[in-house]
Amino acid sequence: MAEITIPAHLLPNDGRFGCGPSKVRGEQLDFLASIQPRVLGTSHRQAPVKDLVGSVRAGLAELFRAPEGYEILLANGGATSFWDSAVHSLIETRSQHLAFGEFGAKFGTAASRAPWLEAPDIREAPAGSRSEAEAVAGVDVYAYPHNETSTGVMAEVRRVHGDPGALTVVDATSGAGGLDFDASEIDAYYFSPQKNFASDGGLWFALVSPAAIERIERIAASDRYIPDTLSLAGAVTNSRLNQTLNTPALATIALMDEQVRWINGQGGLSWAAARTAESAAVLYDWAERSTVATPFVENPAHRSNVVVTIDFDESIDASAISKALRANGVVDTEPYRKLGRNQLRIATFTAIDPDDVRTLTGCIDYVLERL
């Protein structure tokens, strides 16, 4: 295949469209530089770092309009590690999981492997569609992703009204900071910082309700063995002191802090949700108009505003498009690797400029005409 060179004036200002790690804004790096030499290379038990952690926690509580008694927790390990923490520290007996993609399914698998829990109720749906939660007696945690990053399907954040005390636990890794929701509908809304928060991986953050904290403390007081690194009770104690059990990545926290401040300053979650909706609509409209592309997610109500998946006809090799884009500095438009579809997957996270998304459709057209 001949190399395709996209003329410079047709390229986006920033060519990062990956779903995580995702575009980091220059202003975040400027902020990181501005706090030096007080933060990087200094103790995470002292005020400069603890104040930064406190700022992120306060900023997230503001962003999520945290109801009375809700708290922001953080710990090392990312969302994947939060699943193991929840298996140890949050699920009492039995959980229900919506598995309409890789990430929702992985939490269900983690719960199914824990010998101290009953087999979870896992509700699968084929990739590109969505399963729905249903109240079931004996289930004490209802778990689903706000946004399924592997397929580009989003869900509404709604409390499941099951047994008294049952908790609604939402994987918000790719939704948080880019989609709006009502915090009173959740007991735990957890995420990693490398998606809409445009930071780096390795930590998890969570907005938790008083009911979740009560559950965490009750399980911690039982005779169940919980490793320190997975203990949510430990995360509650440490987070209240603006610290983590062991050393966190300080730059990640600083980048996160600046992104939260930026979103709050622009108008908060409703502003962010409008911006991601605008970007996503550009791509879905483009795909609807295209003779060779279609939105992968059939039901428009399920189509994600933060991760857009577009299928291509057999006549087009989508991987050739993403390869040509990559050669021109427009990166990470490949589909989720395990989905194995003839597809482009494009993040429309809050940091990504809707004008760059418009420009991207022009780049795809340019490549399509020359494949």
Listed ranges 170-178, 219-227, 228-236, 246-254: which one lies at the site for ligand PLP (CB under 6 A): 170-178
Question: Which of 201, 234, 248, 295: binder of ligand PLP (CB under 6 A)?
Answer: 201
Binding residue count for ligand PLP, defined by CB under 6 A:
12
Question: Which of 12, 15, 18, 20: binder of ligand PLP (CB under 6 A)?
Answer: 20
Does the protein bind ligand PLP through residue 178 (CB under 6 A)?
no
Does the protein bind ligand PLP through residue 79 (CB under 6 A)?
yes
Q: Cβ closer to ligand PLP: 101 or 162?
A: 101
In sequence order, the 6+-apart residues with CB closer than 8 A to the CB of 247 are 44
Q: Cβ closer to ligand PLP: 336 or 366?
A: 336
Enumerate residues 225-254 that contact ligand PLP by CB under 6 A: none
Q: How far is CA 353 from the centre of its chain?
A: 18
Q: How many residues in the chain?
A: 371
For residues 255 and 205, is the Cβ–Cβ distance under 8 A? no
Enumerate residues 138-157 that contact ligand PLP by CB under 6 A: 145, 149
Which residues are registered as beta bridge partners of 74?
Answer: 205
Question: Which of 171, 257, 311, 334: binder of ligand PLP (CB under 6 A)?
Answer: 171
The crossing angle, in degrees rounded to 10, of helices 354-370 and 318-327 is 110
Q: Cβ closer to ligand PLP: 194 or 359?
A: 194
Number of residue whose CB is nearest ligand PLP:
78
Comparing CA positions, the residue from 371, 216, 301, 268 lying closest to residue 62 is: 268
Kindly report the number of other CB atoms within 10 A of residue 114's CB atom. 17
Q: Which two tokens stand for residue 163?
A: 């047994």
- Give every strand in the sheet of 71-76, ordered side by side: 71-76, 203-208, 188-191, 167-171, 141-145, 95-99, 121-124
Does the protein bind ligand PLP through residue 199 (CB under 6 A)?
no
C-alpha span between 209 and 191 (Å, rounded): 15
Does the protein bind ligand PLP through residue 348 (CB under 6 A)?
no
Q: Cβ closer to ligand PLP: 85 or 149?
A: 149
Q: Which two tokens stand for residue 170?
A: 């939402």
Does the protein bind ligand PLP through residue 196 (CB under 6 A)?
no
Question: Which of 55, 95, 192, 350: binder of ligand PLP (CB under 6 A)?
Answer: 192
Q: Cβ closer to ligand PLP: 174 or 343?
A: 174
In the complex, minimum distance from the CB of residue 327 to ligand PLP, in angstroms, rounded to a whole number: 26
Does the protein bind ligand PLP through residue 173 (CB under 6 A)?
yes
Q: Cβ closer to ligand PLP: 154 or 254?
A: 154
In the complex, minimum distance from the CB of residue 114 to ligand PLP, in angstroms, rounded to a whole number: 18
For residues 190 and 172, is the Cβ–Cβ distance under 8 A? yes
Listed ranges 74-82, 239-247, 338-346, 351-359: which one lies at the site for ligand PLP (CB under 6 A): 74-82
C-alpha span between 206 and 50 (Å, rounded): 17
Inter-CA distances, 81 with 85, 96, 215, 301, Å: 6, 18, 19, 30
For residues 123 and 98, is the Cβ–Cβ distance under 8 A? yes
**Residues within the interface to ligand PLP (CB under 6 A):** 20, 78-80, 103, 145, 149, 171, 173-174, 192, 201
